[in-house]
């Protein structure tokens, strides 16, 4: 149902069973998939591509132009997957350059006041807490939780199954499976409860993850030496491989 009090550009493409409430605004060059709900006061701007079953709440603005001095009017994109819940006053910018896209995957929950800047990449099943801000070119991998008022500086890469607690300011990469806390943010153990109950990681693998991060964060080794010791001392599994590959590929992790 499209309210007669909403503005929907004739060039916009809306799927089946889409609800557009009064005073919503949808520009041309927008695609909205089946079963989406666009609530009152939401703005869906040109360059936005949205999958199925998404909810966009009051006052959200999707596909706004990047707050980037390098942006000169290129036709970039915001690509959103399926079944995302985008709450009130969320702002998501498109990418800076033509051919690039800000991307949000599937089954994510973006709480009130979240701001995703240009070229941000969000995976699947993530929770982005109240008033959290992600600067340009940040990446958040699957099943990660950013609590309220977290700030990610530009080009941070956050691993999967991470919990970053409220108020942290992150300036470097955060490897998978861990909890970050405090200001300045620091390692606060592994995300054990979530890994056990949601990811079904065994007690044995949890111990291996703990041992790997003990070498990285508490062993007084360089990153190179810590990774070598992990390979020599910790039994290999998918999780340990993920840790090694993430840290090795990073330009710098929070320590």
Instruction: Reply yes or no on domain 7-137 having CATH 3.40.50.620.
Output: no
CATH 2.160.10.10 domain span(s) along the chain: 7-137
The topology (CATH level 3) of 195-249 is Udp N-acetylglucosamine O-acyltransferase; Domain 2 (1.20.1180)
Q: Does the pLDDT of residue 75 top 90, yes or no? A: yes
- Cβ neighbours for 224, distance < 8 A, ≥ 6 positions apart: none
Average pLDDT, integer, range 79-93: 98
pLDDT band at 197 (very low <50, low <70, confident <90, very high): confident
What count of residues does the chain have? 255
- Which residues contact residue 21 at a Cβ distance below 8 angstroms, ignoring those fewer than 6 apart? 3, 6, 37, 38, 39, 40, 42
Helix runs in the chain, H state only = 192-197, 203-217, 223-233, 238-249
More confident site: 197 or 140: 140
Chain region(s) in the chain for CATH 1.20.1180.10: 195-249
């Amino acid at each position: 149902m499209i309210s007669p009090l909403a503005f929907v550009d004739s060039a916009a493409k809306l799927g089946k069973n889409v609800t557009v409430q009064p005073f919503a605004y949808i520009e041309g060059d927008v695609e909205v998939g089946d079963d989406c709900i666009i609530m009152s006061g939401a703005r869906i701007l040109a360059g936005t591509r949205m999958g199925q079953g998404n909810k966009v709440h009051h006052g959200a603005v999707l596909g706004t132009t990047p707050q980037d001095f390098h942006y000169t009017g290129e036709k970039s994109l915001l690509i959103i997957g399926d079944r995302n819940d985008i709450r009130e006053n969320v702002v998501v910018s498109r990418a800076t350059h033509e051919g690039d896209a800000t991307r949000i995957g599937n089954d994510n929950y973006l709480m009130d006041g979240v701001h995703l800047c240009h070229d941000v990449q969000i995976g699947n099943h993530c929770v982005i807490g109240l008033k959290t801000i992600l600067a340009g070119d940040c990446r958040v991998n699957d099943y990660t939780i950013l609590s309220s008022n977290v700030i990610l500086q530009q080009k941070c890469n956050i691993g999967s199954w991470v919990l970053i607690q409220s108020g942290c300011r992150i300036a470097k990469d955060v490897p998978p499976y861990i909890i970050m806390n405090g200001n300045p943010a620091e390692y606060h153990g592994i995300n054990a409860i979530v890994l056990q109950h949601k990811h079904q990681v065994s007690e044995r693998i949890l111990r291996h993850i703990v041992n790997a991060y003990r070498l990285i964060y508490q062993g007084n080794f360089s990153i190179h030496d810590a990774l070598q010791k992990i390979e020599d001392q910790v039994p290999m599994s998918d999780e340990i491989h993920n840790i090694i590959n993430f840290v090795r590929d990073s330009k710098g992790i929070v320590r």
